[in-house]
Amino acid sequence: MKLYFETVHSLHDKIVNKEIKAAEVAQAVVSRLEETEGKVGAYLDVESEKALNAAKKTDEKIAKGEEIGFLEGIPGAIKDNICTKGVKTTCASKILENFVPPYNATVIDKLTAANYAFLGKANMDEFAMGGSTENSAYKTTHNPWDLERVPGGSSGGSAAAVAAGSAYWALGSDTGGSIRQPASFCGVVGLKPTYGRVSRYGLVAYASSLDQIGPITRDVTDAANILNIIAGHDEMDSTSSKKAVPDFTKSLTKDVKGLKIGCPKEYFADGMDAETEKSVRGAIDALKAMGAEVVDISLPHTKYAISAYYLIAPAEAATNLQRYDGVSYGARVDGEDIVSLMTNTRTAKFGNEVKRRIMIGNYALSAGYYDAYYLKALKVRTLIKQDFEDAFKSVDIIATPTAPTPAFKIGEMADPLQMYLQDIYTVPINLAGVPGISVPCGFTAKNLPIGLQLIGKPLDEETILRVAYAYEQAHDWKDKRAGGDA
């Protein structure tokens, strides 16, 4: 296998055993980035020198006989809504086109303490609002498996970089599926931890009660190792969990015997792509053959999840994005007075999808509509959360498709409502605050990846990692890499 397509854990072992130098590892991915970026468009900012220098320092430590951490010398990408001190963080928006944060997000401080190799900032849908990375103000990212198709979103740049071999790993954020759906589309692993498991401090807010940072990797082992690094309580985030963080790698066993896996009938409804359903059902059957018990369950309020999400998330977004007014920081378009200055700035610098969600959110929160829409959506959210709590009384995890279709063609989802329905299997997990992971489980006849979503109890990432690892190790999907024009 080509060096830039290897997993982080395999490269780490080779560096530690002096089979290869970290400088070679870094140079391989930098060269691959230079080769593919013109076609894939995964990055908004590339920091090759930083990655190469980090690798050089790793080799110096190895030469001195010093121990190195899991990510040392192995370059990765950071989604461009995660603050990086001294490096532009634009959220793929013109309104933040020259914003350089004066501080790091907590996850970046944790990665820095682990001596990570920073390769660049990954493209995304503007302010994480979208499911295709077509909403970026700067470029459209292309799926490495088929350059005419989207990589998913909003963490499309992160997933595309890992799939293309232009990053060994990446961080994304997930508000309604933005880690798991692009992981499914790009044939990689995407983990959304429990809400509060990873600090949100320094993550530019979209919907604060839903957002969560997580890893996008080539396999489950890498995801577990990176979660070990970034998870934990943070005093800077009042919503972060104080529960002790286990060593997630200890859950990586091939044994699923005795585990009860719930299969919700609402996630296999009409309209799902036939090849997707076949692959996901095949994966569930495979887990059953490995000794797990499959139980039919119901999550009855699933049909209301999209409606509730697209009231709650835009309402929170409308509030969070009030700060971009052309006054305090960010871009400014002058006007005759303060009102026209704000109006001109927001009109010129926000994209259409961001404007759409701000308007939906303000409408839902406005006098006369708050009770009818926003308050009702919050009540539905409670019912959805209750569905999961009830289901987990009888099962250990839940298995579903990650997305209803494989990656669609760029420009194909012109109707926003049609695009929103792509989130139908991922949104409920954010509303409930539970963890979820997407792992590859097959390919279509056109060689497009399909993802299996495994959903766990709150703060029980260990079980979904255990099942994901067992399934992954029993199949060769993990060994397939995007080829073709990329």
Domains of the chain, earliest start first:
3-259+410-416+437-479 (3.90.1300.10)
Angle at 115 (CA atoms; ends 152, 182), nearest 5 degrees: 5
**Is-above-0.75 flag for pTM?**
yes
Kindly report the average pLDDT of the chain as a whole number.
96
pLDDT tens sequence across 137-169: 999 999 999 999 999 999 999 999 999 999 999
The pLDDT value recorded for residue 225 is 98
pLDDT tens sequence across 437-450: 999 999 999 999 99
Is 169:124 a contact under the CB 8 Å cutoff?
A: no
Q: What is the mean pLDDT of residues 102-131?
A: 98
Residue 251 in tokens: 């859950």
Kindly give the pairing relationship between strand 117-122 and strand 75-79.
parallel
pLDDT band for position 483 (50/70/90)? confident
Is 75:30 a contact under the CB 8 Å cutoff?
A: yes
Phi, psi (rounded to 5 degrees) for 247: -85, 105
Helix axes 22-40, 156-164, angle to 10 degrees: 120
The pLDDT value recorded for residue 460 is 98
Q: What is the mean pLDDT of residues 183-192?
A: 98
State the DSSP code for 89: -
Instruction: Give the Cα separation of 456 and 461 in Å (integer).
Output: 7
Q: Which of 452, 482, 485, 24 is nearest to 218 (CA)?
A: 482
Residue 82 in tokens: 């995660």
Catalytic center residues: 79, 154, 178
Q: Is 351 helix (H, G, I), strand (E, B) or coil?
A: coil
Helix axes 22-40, 48-63, angle to 10 degrees: 160
The pLDDT value recorded for residue 342 is 94
Instruction: Give the Cα separation of 464 and 397 in Å (integer).
Output: 7
The pLDDT value recorded for residue 271 is 80
Instruction: Give the Cα separation of 202 and 331 in Å (integer).
Output: 19
Count the alpha carbons within 13 Å of 48 in the hemisphere toward its beta carbon.
11
pLDDT band for position 73 (50/70/90)? very high
pLDDT band for position 1 (50/70/90)? confident
Helix axes 461-473, 274-289, angle to 10 degrees: 100
Percent of the chain with pLDDT over 70: 99
Provide the greatest CA pair distance for the chain. 70
Q: How many CB atoms lie within 10 A of CB 132?
A: 29
Is 192:212 a contact under the CB 8 Å cutoff?
A: yes
pLDDT tens sequence across 381-433: 999 999 999 999 999 999 999 999 999 999 999 898 889 999 999 999 999 99
Q: Which of 208, 237, 203, 215 is nearest to 82 (CA)?
A: 203
Count the alpha carbons within 13 Å of 275 in the hemisphere toward its beta carbon.
13
The pLDDT value recorded for residue 414 is 87
Amino acid at 439: V
Residue 264 has pLDDT above 90, yes or no: yes
The pLDDT value recorded for residue 255 is 95
